Amino acid sequence: MSGFFRLVRRDLRLALRQGGDAATVLAFFFLAVILFPFGVGPEPEVLTRIAAGIVWVTALLAALLSLERLFLADYEDGSLEALALMPLPLEFQVLAKALAHWLTTGLPLVVVAPLLALLLHLDGAGYGALVLGMALGTPTLSLVGAIGAALTLGARRGGVLLSLLVLPLYIPVLIFGVGAVEAAVTGLEMRPHLMLLVALLLAAIPLAPVAAAAALRQAVE
């Protein structure tokens, strides 16, 4: 168990020393969102209808940006082979890395999302559902993304391939995340959508590390 938290702390320290990654992801999130008023026009009536979708989709794309480097640095300098030999099972190490990834990229997205929703004139009733939905959905994105990151280690054009593999698997999270906000805005119950997001997270926590660890094992052998 201590190995798990040591690995999380190691990844957090590496991410903080790097510094740039979380900031780049947030900058992309911000820029991609503000492109939409330029694209569809600044009328509040139009923007408020699509605000939830825009924030969620761009959060998804921003989360994708940092996934490629989840295992790549360790794979390239050989520490992945050393990690595979640790007594802590590889599945738990994947969980630790996904947790660190979420803390450095997912959580900042959740914090910034209400601000961006404000810029898009999201209806006041939707903010709670947006933040809750993203807080529940972004860990799933990190976990499922870890599968894609592990599968594309050392592949040609790994970054683009990663997006192709991972985006279809992100679609359920997107559907229920936006569904929660739409429900809250129209006065319906948001709980069913949030419960489904929780269900997706609870399914991802045991299953994603198994798949990612299998992929990592055949990447280092």
Partner 1 sequence: MFSLANPARFMRWSAAVLPYCAFATAVLLAAGTILALFVAPPDYQQGEAVRIMYVHVPAAYMASLVYAVVALGSAVALIWRHPLADIAAQEAAPLGAGFTLICLVSGSLWGEPMWGTWWVWDARLTSVLVLFFLYLGYMALVNAFDDPARGAKAGAILALVGVVNLPIIKFSVDWWNTLHQPASIFRLGGPTIAAAMLWPLFIMALGFTLFFVTLLLVRMRGRLLAARIRALRLAA
* Residues forming the site for partner 1 (CB under 8 A): 147, 151-152, 154-158, 161, 164-165, 167-169, 171, 211, 214-215, 218-219
Write down the residue that tokens 């961006």 correspond to: 116
Report in angstroms how near the CB of residue 189 gets to partner 1 at its nearest. 17
Which region, left, alpha or beta, applies to residue 95 given φ > 0 means left and ψ of -120 to 50 means alpha?
A: alpha
Q: Which is nearer to partner 1, 19 or 168 (CB)?
A: 168
Q: Are 177 and 134 in contact (CB under 8 A)?
A: yes
The type of residue at 69 is: R
Query: Whole-angstrom Cα distance, residue 145 to residue 63?
Result: 8
How many CA atoms does the CB half-sphere of 128 hold within 13 Å? Answer: 8
Report in angstroms how near the CB of residue 155 gets to partner 1 at its nearest. 4
Burial (0-12, 13-18, 19+ Cβ within 10 Å), 141: buried
How far is the CA of 60 from the CAs of 108, 125, 134, 177, in angstroms? 13, 22, 10, 11
**CA nearest neighbour of 98 among 29, 17, 12:** 12
